[in-house]
Each structure stands twice: as structure tokens, then as C-alpha cells.
Amino acid sequence: MASAWQRVLSAHQSIVENGDKRTDPWLLVYSPVPVALIFLVYLGVVWAGPRLMKHRQPVDIRAVLIVYNFSMVGLSAYMCYEFLVSAWLANYSFLCQPVDYSTSPLALRMASACWWFFFSKVIELSDTLFFILRKKNNQLTFLHVYHHGTMICNWWMGIKYVAGGQSFFIGMVNSFVHVVMYSYYGLAALGPHMQKYLWWKRYLTSFQLVQFGLFLLHTGYNLFTECDFPDTMNLFVFSYCVTLIVLFSNFYYQSYVSRRKQK
């Protein structure tokens, strides 16, 4: 037992010492323990939340949802702008861009944008809590929990080791997609009278699938070319996007194609 614990401590030490020294002082970055605890608490809430709400009335959080969703629109727009401008000013390449680990203003600006993107994934865990409080348990699908739970872990690795470089493309595109997505949720939260303006709901899933396809092309290209960006990270992102394409495609089929056939 002591030997196993020593191996755990040794692995932890290796993880914290080999990261990006610029981002280590930033919130939740230095050690994987805080993010691991957040992940475990999240799973605990997913398991216990619906059981605690089973015999309770749904909570009316309409005002909270309006503020939350439009705040996320603002944050997503800010991150998309920071990724785009930082990459533009630093003459980033869309085909191959190594991480600039220097402390230059542009390198730190890009790293900061990556941190905000990581932290936004922690904030987005609130989506699940809101489903639980509103007793929308049909929305607590494997896809939802898998996507939200894993993104905080994935982007912790991003901000810890590759805060910049190729990572900017994923952050920029996903932030833009979230501007559209949270705009939809914000408008929907305003009330039933908005439904006639929200005919484009089904296209949100298509939009998300398009972004995953772009990520596959972006990371796949670098897997087969020479680029000074970690192949292990590109391979991880590529594999992860494959799982999301499979899950989101199934969701699209079940929600729109299969349902339309039944009608």
C-alpha cells in the first residue's frame, strides 16, 4: 500500500512539475487534484440530484437562466475575440502552430484566453444543475454528462501543457458555436412567446457536428505532417472528437430523423 501511494505521489509530482510555468499560478491549474474533485462532485450531483428532487416541485429559476445564458453569450464572444485577435496579431498559422511558451504580451494573452476557455467549462457544469433543479431529467443523457464532465479534464490538460499554439483553433471555433447556442437558450428562457422565433433549434446540433469535423481535419492534418506541437495531444483531440461525432450524430438521428419518421 505504501509503495502504491508513493507511486501516486511520484506521478502527481511529475504532472505538476512538467507543466507550463506561466499558467501554474492561475486558478485550478497547478495540480490536477482540484479539477479531479470538481469532476467527482459533478458525478455525485448527477447521481444524487434527481433522487433528491424526485418528490419536490421543479424550481422556478427563469430569471437565473436568462442572466446565466446571456452572460455565457458575452463570455463566449469575449473568448472568441481574444483567440482570434491574439492569433491574428501573432501571425498564427492554421496549419501548424507550436506553443509560444515565452512571457511576451501576445503569448500571455493567448494563454489567458485558453485559461478563460478552461474556466468556462467549469462554469458550464451549471447547465446540469439547472436541468436537475427544473426536473428536466430527460436532458441528463449520457451525451450531456460525458461532454460536460470530460471537457473540464481535457482543457485542464490544455491549459496546463499547451496554452496556445494549435489549441487556439478549438477554443475560437467552440466559443463562436457557444455564442449561438447560449443565445438560443437565453431566448428560450424568455418564455413560450419566443418559440416561434426559435425554429432553428435542430440546426444547433448540425452546427456542433460541423465544428467537430473541423477539429478532426485540423488535428488530423498535424498527425501526418511535421509540426512542433505534441502528437499525443493531437491524437487525443482527434480520438475525443470521434466519440463526440458518434454521440451527437446519434442524438441528431434520435431527435429529428427518427422522430420525423414516427410522425
DSSP state of 195: G
Count the alpha carbons within 13 Å of 232 in the hemisphere toward its beta carbon. 5
SS3 assignment, position 138: helix
Q: What is the pLDDT of residue 259?
A: 65
At 54-67, the pLDDT tens digits run: 999 999 999 999 99
Active site includes 193? no
Q: What is the pLDDT of residue 261?
A: 61
196 confidence band (pLDDT: 50, 70, 90): confident
At 21-44, the pLDDT tens digits run: 999 999 999 999 999 999 999 999
Catalytic residue among 55, 147, 193, 218: 147
Burial class (CB in 10 A: 0-12, 13-18, 19+), 212: buried
Q: What is the pLDDT of residue 2?
A: 62
pTM of the model: 0.95
Q: Is the pLDDT of residue 136 over 70?
A: yes
Quick one: which H or E segment has residue 34?
A: helix 33-53
- Rounded Cα gap, residues 193 and 37, in angstroms: 41
Mean pLDDT of 221-249: 94
Residue 157 grid cell: 490538460
- Rounded Cα gap, residues 263 and 258, in angstroms: 9
Phi, psi at residue 244, to the nearest 5°?
Answer: -70, -35
At 81-125, the pLDDT tens digits run: 999 999 999 999 989 999 999 999 999 999 999 999 999 999 999
Give the relative orientation of helices 142-161 and 105-123 as an angle to the nearest 10 degrees: 160
**Distance of CA 52 to CAs 63, 135, 148, Å?**
23, 10, 21
Residue type, 231: D
